[in-house]
Each structure stands twice: as C-alpha cells, then as structure tokens.
Chain A
Amino acid sequence: MARRSGYWIGFFLVLGALGAAPLVLPEFWRRFVTEILIWGLLAMSSDILIGYTGVVSFGHSAFFGLGMYGAAFGLLRFRPNLWLALAFGLLAAATVAAFVAYFSTRLRDIYFSICTLVFSQIFYVIIFTWTEVTGGENGLVFRQPPLSVPGWQRAFTPATLHWFVLSIVTLTYLALRQVTRSPFGMVLQAIRENESRTMAIGYDVKRYKIVAVMLSGLCAGLAGILYAVQNRFVAPNFVFFDVSGEVVIFNVLGGMGTLVGPVLGAAVFFLLREGLSRYFTEYYLIPVGMIFMLTVIFLPQGLLGFLRRQLNQ
C-alpha cells in the first residue's frame, strides 16, 4: 500500500510540475517541454512493443508520420478543426499499423525489426514522391486549428497548447498503464519472456502481437498529430528511419518496460542535444553516442530503472 500511495504522490508531483511549466518557464524552454512530451508519447508507444512484448520496432516513424500527414490532410482538405485532425491522423496511423502488423508479426526477433524498418521506408518513399498529396520534399504547411469544443473555440496560446498536449499524453499514459496490467498486457509480457511457452499454454501469439503493434502504432500516430498541430507543418524527414532509431534510443536511455522511462529518455536526449550542440555544433551526436553506450553498459535498466533501485534501497 505504501508503494502505491508513493506512486500517486510522485505522479501528481510530476504532473503538477509539468502543468506549471508554461507559467514559469521562458518562451524557448516552454516550447521545449511541450516538444519533449510529444516525443515522449512516441517513445512510450514504442515501449509497448520493446518493453512489454519484447519485439523491437524500427518503424515507428511510419506511424508517427502517418498520424502527422493524416492530420495535415484533414486540416488542409476539410476544415481547420482540431478534432477532425485527430480523427484523420488516427485513421491514417491505424490503417498503416494494421498493414504493418499483419506482415511483420509473421516474423520473429530481428526479422520483425527489419520488416518494420522496410515498411517505414516504403511509406517514406511514397510520401517523398507523391507530391500532389503530400507536398513531396517540402512537406505541407497549414494554419494551427483552434482549441474547440462545440459552441466554444479559442486560438491556442503556447500555454493552452502545452496543457492540451499534457492532458493527452497523461490520459494515454494512464490508459496504456492499465492495458499493461490487464490480462491482455500480462500475455504480452509472457510473450516477451518466452514466446514458444506462451503459445503452448494456448495463446495465439500472432494475434496478440498484431493488437500490440496496432495499439502502439495508434499512440505513435497520436504523437504525430500533436507534433503537426504544434508546429503547423509536416515534412517527410519525420517519416525517415532515423526518427525510429531515436525512439529506440529514448527507450534504452530511459528504461524499457516502464512507460515513463522512455519519456524521461526523450527528455534527457533532447537536453543533451541542446547542451552539447552548443559546444560540439553538428558533431553533438558523438558525445551523445558515447553517453548512450555508457548507459547501455552501466545502466542496462535505463535511467528510470537505476533511479528506482536507488529509491528502493
């Protein structure tokens, strides 16, 4: 019981701090925190696969990108409505996730990863070359939709956008947390521990993986929509595979199988990039890479796993 109340105290402290951030932080850092939340959501979605199901997706940029482009499509072709953008983005991400899930879950281990990578690159090429719809290399630019409920609407300010993003990320986190502890989530973790055993006790592993990939892809798409709304543009380089690679790095840095760990990983990664690129300019990836390797060697459970162990002692 003590552990449980400790968890909720921590939860509300972090939530409070993130909620207060736009009121106290200067403009640059305010934007920075909002962006970390969005990338954190993307990393969290990937954790469902890496941390809980034990399969590594190298194709999360596709889900993220399709969420983005779906939202942009809805905003440009129909109306600048936030909920319409959400609906279009989620539909696009879900379609792609279903497609990728169907094929990739036939494969195991590294072959699964390669399959997701290949599919994300296919979608990258489609988006890059289908200029009439996607704007090709230049991407698409659009106006930010206002925050609206039926009968009321107001243009986003940096603060309200931050709170909007924060509430969506928090709700998604709570939902995913519930899923990971549901009977379904326990099956995913059984698959991670031992796939053949899980099959032998009566679980159709492939179907569970398909649902896991779709769930993960949907949340990644949500992150893409938020990014599009925040930045008012979409571009093909967000669908490129280095985004997928960064997502895996966020997970390893922060701690896989914890949901919040990957958000922390994203925060640390962006802070490192911010801090180091001042001294190393475009070579900042060299020290970042070294820090990453040191984490893998000395903190194999990631930063959150490390912190948890320190707190438990």
Chain B
Amino acid sequence: MLEIKDLTVSVEDKIILNNFSLKINQGEVHAIMGPNGSGKSTLSNVLCGKDNYKIKKGEIIFKEKNIFELSIDERAKLGLFLAFQYPVELPGVSITPFLKTAINSKLKSLGKKEIDSLEFAKKVREASEYLGISKEMLKRSVNEGFSGGEKKRYEVLQMTLLNPDLTILDETDSGLDIDALKTVSKGVNRLKRKDNSIVVITHYQRLLDYIIPDFVHILVAGKIVRSGDKNLALELEKKGYENII
C-alpha cells in the first residue's frame, strides 16, 4: 500500500525527517508515537503534499505510484486521506455541497458517474447518525464554530464518505473528551477493512485502547527509533519517551 524509503525532509534548512523509512501493507493499522517536534505532523503533511517542505532525498510509493509526482488533490483522489489535527474553518463553505463536490471529484477521477442525490443524502444521513452528528450541524459551514469534538467527528464523517485506501489520523485524540474519543474511534474502526490501511499519529496510548494497532513505531528527531506491537505503546505509557529510547 505505502512505502516510504529513506525520506529526508527539511523546513528552512532544519532537518525534520531524517532517513525515515516505513512500509504499510493492506489491512494494517500502524501507530506512530513521538514527543513534540519529532516530525509526526511533517510526515502527514509531506504524505498529503503540503508545500513549505523541502524533500532532500528519498521516495514515497503509494499504490505503486511515486506520490511526489502528484498534486495534493491527485493524492486524495488516489485514496489518501488526512484527518487533520486542527481542521480549518471554512466560513461560507456549506458542509453538504462540499461533501458532494469532494465525492464527485474522486468519482470523476475514477471515470465513474457522479453520485445520485438520493444515494448521497442516504449515505450522509446514515454516517452522521452513527457519529452523532446532528442535522443542524450539517447545515453549517465547514468546521465553523465547531467544538474540538465536533471537528473530529466531522473529519471521520468525511473519511466515511470518501472511503480512502490509506487514512492518516493526525492526533485525532487531541481535544476530545472520553465519550467523543469512543465515538470517533468507533467510527474509524467501522471503516477498517482487509484492503485499506490506517496510520494513527498520537502522543498518547489512550487512543490505541480503542483503535488497536498492528504495529507501533516510536519517532524521535525524524527517525523511527523503535518498532513493536501494541505492547510497545503500553510500555511507553509506563516509562515515558526518555526511558524507552
């Protein structure tokens, strides 16, 4: 599904990711944990194609394509989805038409016809109910005035409707109370299939109680310093970053 080879990335001459390598197969859930400033968000932004990052070396192959040759939207259409740590507010951009435009952009790129309005309404209703998103919220502008929990639920709603092959959850647990964390995790788990993959980026072990990873990687100073199974996260929780490296 995804292979990152020897990736070195800098911002304003400061190396953020340093010879970073990672391979993710279909059906796997990977957790990337690391202290502040270790390069977690840089990794997700570089994967999605945000500019401001200088790729000094390495490559990223997603679904057998070199994604450095693709624009941000082309990567999204290929099946990459980033659930943002801080989803931006888009005043004046109504949620429902935006969702429909996003779905149709993807369908168009696959050479498929646009989604039928009734089918779209049904999908939105069903996914919203599951995630506890009210009808009133769907009438608002994207993320405008949403609480932290509402923003994260809305990210998962988009993920549900866009049905990506690879999802990156960038600190999805930040700003969530325990009930919201459970709802969001439930929403993510429901989308797990044998043919898709999930990367969970987080500081804390707590999210991994609900989204159980197959692999846990510890990222420090732009490099993976240890990898293991879900027990590594538990060990990290007990010992802290300083003592586990």
Chain A bound to chain B: no
